[in-house]
Amino acid sequence: DGNPVIAAYSRSANYPVQPNAAQKTYLGNYEGVITKISADGSTILASTYLGGSGSDGIEGIGIDAQNRIYVTGSTDSPGFSATTGTAYQPIIGGGTDGHLTVLSADLSTILYSTFIGGSANDNLRTCHVDEWGRVHAGGASGSANLPILNAFHPTLTGTNAGVAVTFQPNDLMLPGALCVLSNDFVDPCLSTAAIDLNGLEIYVFPNPATESISIESEFSDSLKWVEISGVNGQLIISKAIAGTSQKIDASSFPKGFYCLKIVSEFGIFSKKILLQ
């Protein structure tokens, strides 16, 4: 929206938070703080604390196309505000953990928040929201049991290592209908057509499929990216595509249900695919 947002930490119980802040109260030691100011620097438009009773900091910040505010940092507070039911890691792993938190544009609501860490000290120091809605964060970890998924380097060597993490909280990132993966053929997402945000149809066929999956858009050159994930969340394919149609070789995939996420020029949405 053109207004700058700053994020840091504070030891002040009287830091200037707003009446509608997501966290109005200083809880102890030092807290993360996020503040949005007017473009001319004259007015605080939104401001909030972010933290628990321990030491909480913010080092990375990003903003998406809907002006939602993303921050990463570190916390040793067990009571840090991880979102119930949606957090990737709802409890602290031990020592200091990294965190990712997503807030509404006016800083009044925590939309998503999670710990990311193991039993030693971990932190996240950067935050970038890409055009596909993914959040990329970098930091450091001393934990041999850091949560790892699809890792290029899956084990800790030495006492400390750099970490790179990509988050995709589906409830926030998908503006279209979200398909729920289950072993149930009766599902509104299990079909051969989908409607993107501008009402243009994208066809995925055949469904059920056997050897291959075809994607076609009714609008020229609108396809941009495709992902296929298994029911356990494992990413099978993630790649850029282009044009009006794309054919994916699925002959080596095990039989079962998959989630196909398609990014077009006009929107992002998911389809449920059965391979048999």
Distance CA 1, CA 44 (A): 14
Q: Which residues of 20-35 are buried (b: 16+ CB within 10 A; e: fewer)?
A: ebbbeebbbebbbbbb
Say yes or no to pLDDT of 173 above 70.
no
At 198 the pLDDT is: 42
The more confidently predicted of residues 228 and 49 is 49
Q: DSSP string covering 33-45, please?
A: EEEEE-TTSS-EE
Structure confidence by residue, pLDDT tens digits, 25-51:
999 899 999 999 999 999 999 999 999
State residue 48 phi and psi, 5-degree precision: -150, 150
**pLDDT band of 132, cuts 50, 70, 90:** low
Tokens of 189: 């997402």
Half-sphere exposure of 209 (CA within 13 A, CB side): 29
pLDDT level of residue 156 (50, 70, 90 thresholds): confident
Stretch 60-73: mean pLDDT, rounded? 92
Domain ranges of the chain: 5-173, 193-275
CATH class name, domain 193-275: mainly beta
Higher pLDDT, 37 or 245: 37
Least confident of 8-22, 55-69, 122-136: 122-136
* pLDDT at site 179: 37
Residue 175 has pLDDT above 60, yes or no: no
Q: Is the pTM of this model over 0.85?
A: no
Q: How much is the mean pLDDT over the chain?
A: 83
